[in-house]
Amino acid sequence: MCACYLTLHTFNPIQYNKMERIKCLIIGSGPAGYTAAIYASRANLKPVMYTGIEPGGQLMQTTDVENFPGYPTGIMGPEMMEDFKKQAERFGTDIRFGIATKVELKGDIKVVHFDDGTSVEAYTVIIATGASAKWLGLPSEKRLNGNGVSACAVCDGFFFRNQEVALVGGGDTACEEALYLSKLCKNVHMLVRKDHFRASKIMQDRVLNTPNIHVYWNSETAEILGDTVVTGLQIKNVLTGAITEVAITGFFVAIGHQPNTKIFEGQIDLDEQGYIVTKSGSAKTNIEGVFAAGDVQDRHYRQAITAAGTGCMAALDAERYLTEKDIH
């Protein structure tokens, strides 16, 4: 048991005009959101968490997580997120399904509106909305999305058992997804736009030692073929301009993510890529009482463990802010 948060406050949410007022609102339910929830609950901030569109966040689409301390034999992403959830619930976090659609963050009392029509007033807001998959931007990718085009091998790989598939990307996600697909599919055609991977060495080695993953270096997607479903792919070599055609039924995009910050534009300081800017060594944003944690503010590390760490920071910062403001 942590000895840091044994103080008991006597705060109850106040209901008026059908809008509740709470001490701490957490938006997002990945490792950052849940860790913030665990710390905030134990500090008696009585946090309310809104899960967002993808409860559990990106780890719900991951297979083995081998690098999160405390799981010596690894754990499946969804199972780990279920553990996070149980731990947050154990200390009383009020977890609700809902998507924040509009925020008013200036002033002492922040107001956040949700897609079900409800609104919440909060003295502190912890933003842990994470990041979403990026797409290539080809019209054929959009047209065939859901009909052979996917940004999640773990979700959709099953549909392409014993078939030919392609995957774009050279990072850890791409390698992880290529390995996952290699166990299900006949062949995985992997397009990497440079002459090297961005992924960690261990993942690169695993991919290069898998006989049914074929890496195409310096290669881009010229066109995804098919009228109603994916039937093939045109691969362009960026050095020679040569086009190669392969027959495939599945096309997977694994080229990274973008932060989910659209609703905060114009209110919170964002960097040029849209990530929330936090003050060095803290989870504080440019707005008092608003904190950010996890991938939504981290374009460098983007790991579950770093997200969890910043979730802890955000809850501690929120607690100190409330103490300074004498809000109990």
174 binds ligand NDP (CB under 6 A): yes
104 Cβ partners below 8 Å, 6+ apart?
110, 111, 112
Give the nearer residue to ligand NDP in terms of CB position, either 121 or 172: 172
**Closest CB to ligand NDP among 111 and 165?**
165
Residue whose structure tokens are 């995957």: 167
Q: Which is nearer to ligand NDP, 83 or 220 (CB)?
A: 220
Using CB under 6 A, pick the residue from 136, 222, 246, 305 that binds ligand NDP: 136
Task: Please select the residue that binds ligand NDP; options are 75, 168, 268, 313, rule is CB under 6 A.
Answer: 168
Does the active-site annotation cover 155?
yes
- Respond yes or no: is residue 156 known to be catalytic: yes
Pairwise CA distance, residues 182 & 179, whole Å? 5
Nearest distance in Å: CB 157, ligand NDP: 15
- Under rule CB under 6 A, which residues in 36-55 are in contact with ligand NDP? none
* Closest by Cα among 213, 203, 204 to 181: 213
Given the complex with ligand NDP, which of 42 and 257 has the nearer CB atom? 257
Angle at 267 between CA 261 and CA 270, to 5 degrees: 50
Is residue 170 part of the contact set for ligand NDP (CB under 6 A)? yes
Which CB, 53 or 133, lies closer to ligand NDP? 133
Does residue 259 interact with ligand NDP by CB under 6 A? Answer: no
Residues 189-228 that bind ligand NDP (CB under 6 A): 193-194, 198
Q: Is 152 part of the annotated catalytic residue set?
A: yes
Least separation in angstroms between residue 215's CB and ligand NDP is 12
We find the least distance from the C-beta atom of residue 55 to ligand NDP, in angstroms, to be: 20
Q: Does position 302 bind ligand NDP by CB under 6 A?
A: yes
Q: Are 140 and 224 in contact (CB under 8 A)?
A: yes
* Residue 141 contacts ligand NDP per CB under 6 A: no
Q: Which of 156, 295, 298, 317 is catalytic?
A: 156
Q: Is 81 in the site for ligand NDP (CB under 6 A)?
A: no
Answer for which of 43, 88, 188, 255 binds ligand NDP (CB under 6 A) is 255
The reply to whether 171 sits near ligand NDP by the rule CB under 6 A is yes
Q: Which residue is nearest to ligand NDP (CB)?
A: 171
172 binds ligand NDP (CB under 6 A): yes
Q: Phi/psi class of residue 228: alpha, beta or left (left: φ > 0; alpha: ψ in -120 to 50)?
A: alpha
Residues with a catalytic annotation lie at 152, 155-156
Residues within the interface to ligand NDP (CB under 6 A): 67, 136, 168-174, 176, 193-194, 198, 255-257, 302
